[in-house]
């Protein structure tokens, strides 16, 4: 399998090179030259396969011979060694819980897979790799834990000061060792722009080997397909595939779902569930793409005004907007609607959503009002405890605290404060 740059000014590369580089030399995102088709046997008999076997079959065509089979099996087994339960909320809406991993967020899968791949590629290489990543919330913690103490790899995480939850901040600032947290006086989009500027700086890249752990990296993006196969495995009504609502910020997750669908997975329709940062819903409605400055919301991990992965979504449909709209709808949900949904679902259905899941629930609920014969699934991407300080005043009761979170909240925070200036980032990287 080869991966080409969507800017089409760089040579195609194999998986190992795409993983190590993160972004192509021409600053484009890597995209597979061919979308492999999963076997009909897997789709028709998926209940008979373990999660590990499903993941291995899905990811192997993208890796090729760049990782030996036994090593890839080990990586996959370590990536998905926790539960992905599908729970019924109402007669027409189900929740696929993706928060049972080590950092209680869906990004554990991509971060763990990428860290293991990069660790494998770094073996025997005397040059240390620096993973540079911007986070609007959950990416930081997942990447920090995934790469913690991985030999030959340092991790530098940029996050917007005061714009991630207390739990999210603790998860990315309390590890130490090879994990460095930069608290940026700015927005996520500014953090992301600084990261992109670092990758674009030829002088900096001559001094150090940089790669990305955001979902722009194929090793972070591609394994997110696993979720969609796991929901199909648990979906009872195989004759009526579900509509799937995905909380969407940087659009890596839903793009992976659309990729899985084009690989042969039966998903009826996708919903890009966005908060007030509605760049993509507006595009789907008007055909005009206008990036905006990110607005801070209750569902902070989705506060992205110019989603990096949307160019991949467009590529999946050969940039034909009408084809895209047949497969994906976009909904924008306000903070007030998010709060009301969170409270009403707990009261009526005894199910506690996190703010991102609440955005997905509201979007799916509104969609099913138009298409009442359909049933759907939301991706519940984070444990509610990660937003306890926002949720508890709404529901008037405490959110149950998992033991791993209780232990972490008492740890000391270590971060370096910098302004939203790329030169501050360059100074830190070259002095590290």
Catalytic residues: 107
CB 7 within 8 A of CB 26: yes
Helix axes 138-147, 166-173, angle to 10 degrees: 20
Cα dihedral 322, 275, 242, 110 sign: positive
CA distance 294 to 248: 13
| Other Cβ atoms within 10 Å of 35 Cβ, number | 14
Q: Six-digit token pair at 206?
A: 């001559």
H helices of 176-263, in order, are 188-200, 202-207, 218-221, 226-234, 252-262
Tokens of residue 392, six digits = 């508890």
Instruction: Report the C-alpha gap between 324 and 317 in whole angstroms.
Output: 6
Rounded Cα gap, residues 344 and 170, in angstroms: 30
Straight-line distance from the first to the last Cα atom of the chain, in angstroms, rounded to the nearest whole number? 36
Other CB atoms closer than 10 Å to residue 45's CB: what's the count?
10
Within 10 angstroms of residue 170's Cβ, the number of other Cβ atoms is 20
> DSSP 3-state assignment of 144?
helix
CA-nearest of 292, 287, 315 to 304 is 292
Separation of CA 159 from chain center: 15
- What is the C-alpha separation between 21 and 15, in angstroms, rounded? 10
Dihedral pair phi/psi, residue 382, rounded to 5° = -150, 150
Nearest to 219 by CA among 146, 272, 273: 146
Contacts of residue 88, defined as CB under 8 A and 6 or more positions apart, other chains included, come to 94
């Amino acid at each position: 399998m080869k991966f080409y740059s969507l800017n089409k000014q760089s040579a195609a590369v194999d998986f190992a090179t795409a993983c190590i580089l993160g972004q192509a030399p021409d600053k484009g995102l890597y995209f597979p030259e061919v979308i492999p088709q999963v076997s009909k046997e897997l789709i028709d008999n998926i209940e008979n396969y373990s999660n590990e076997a499903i993941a291995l079959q899905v990811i192997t065509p993208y890796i090729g011979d760049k990782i030996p089979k036994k090593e890839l099996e080990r990586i996959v087994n370590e990536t998905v060694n926790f539960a992905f339960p599908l729970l019924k909320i109402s007669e027409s809406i189900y929740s696929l819980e993706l928060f049972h991993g080590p950092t209680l967020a869906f990004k554990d899968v991509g971060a763990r897979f990428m860290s293991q791949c990069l660790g494998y590629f770094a073996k025997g290489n005397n040059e240390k790799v620096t993973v540079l990543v911007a986070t609007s919330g959950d990416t930081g913690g997942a990447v920090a834990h995934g790469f913690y103490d991985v030999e030959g790899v340092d991790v530098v995480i940029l996050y917007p000061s005061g714009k991630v939850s207390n739990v999210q901040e603790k998860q990315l600032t309390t590890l130490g060792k090879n994990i460095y947290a930069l608290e940026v006086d700015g927005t996520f989009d500014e953090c992301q722009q600084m990261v992109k500027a670092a990758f674009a700086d030829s002088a900096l890249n001559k001094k150090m080997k940089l790669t990305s752990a955001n979902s722009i990296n194929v090793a972070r993006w591609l394994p997110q397909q696993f979720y969609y196969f796991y929901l199909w495995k648990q979906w009872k009504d195989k004759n009526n595939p579900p509509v799937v609502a995905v909380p969407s910020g940087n659009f890596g997750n839903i793009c992976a779902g659309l990729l899985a669908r084009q690989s042969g997975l039966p998903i009826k329709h996708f919903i890009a569930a966005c908060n007030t940062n509605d760049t993509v819903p507006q595009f789907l409605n008007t055909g005009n793409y206008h990036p905006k400055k990110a607005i801070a919301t209750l569902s902070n991990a989705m506060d992205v005004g110019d989603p990096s992965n949307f160019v991949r979504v467009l590529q999946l449909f050969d940039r034909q907007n009408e084809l895209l709209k047949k497969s994906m709808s976009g909904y924008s949900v306000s903070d007030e609607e998010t709060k009301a949904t969170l409270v009403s679902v707990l009261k009526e259905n005894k199910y506690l959503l996190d703010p991102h899941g609440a955005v997905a629930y509201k979007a799916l609920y509104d969609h099913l009002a138009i298409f009442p014969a359909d049933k759907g699934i939301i991706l519940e991407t984070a444990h509610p405890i990660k937003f306890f300080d926002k949720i508890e005043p709404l529901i008037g009761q405490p959110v149950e605290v998992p033991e791993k979170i209780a232990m972490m909240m008492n740890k000391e925070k270590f971060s370096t404060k910098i302004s939203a200036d790329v030169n501050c980032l360059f100074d830190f990287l070259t002095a590290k």
